[in-house]
Amino acid sequence: MPIEINRTVKIMFEVRVDGVLVDGSRSNKPFEFQFGVGQVIAGLEKRIINMKAGEAAQFIVPAAEAYGEYDPNGIQTLHIEQFAGIEDLKVGMQIQAQDENDQPIQFIVKEIGEKEVTVDFNHPLAGKDLEYKIKIDSLL
């Protein structure tokens, strides 16, 4: 029976960007998610919808169907005072915070100056095509 909306899907997978492994099943345990409810990127769901347990595939999910295109407007400069509570602030650090509506946001520190910090609100995989290798472990 193929995958359907709200069905629990267990997959073994690898994701590569430019041939470099960036994500995958942990400890040889399948990754589990509810299909069709936004728990994984739309481009992945679109490509596995007709698959059945035991089937394997390799495909590319373009950036637009993954984490979106890279947006240069996602780079912002903030006053260093906004980082007063963060110990050991470093370039490359990923920080999770809340926006003005108490929604979770994540950004990466790009540059630290005397009075300002440049951050990138783009997802680390924005603008990247994702190369998937996947096997449907089971459908519940």
Q: Which residues of 103-128 are buried (b: 16+ CB within 10 A; e: fewer)?
A: eeeebbbeeeeeeebebbebbebbbb
The CATH T-level fold of domain 72-120 is: Thrombin, subunit H (2.40.10)
> pLDDT tens for residues 122-136?
999 999 999 999 999
The pLDDT assigned to 21 comes to 95
Rounded CA-CA distance 95/123 in Å is: 12
> pLDDT tens for residues 42-71?
999 999 998 999 999 999 999 999 999 999
The CATH T-level fold of domain 8-68+126-139 is: Chitinase A; domain 3 (3.10.50)
Mean pLDDT of the 28-40 span: 93
Say if CB 138 and CB 30 are below 8 A apart. Answer: yes
Give the domain ranges of the chain.
Answer: 8-68+126-139, 72-120
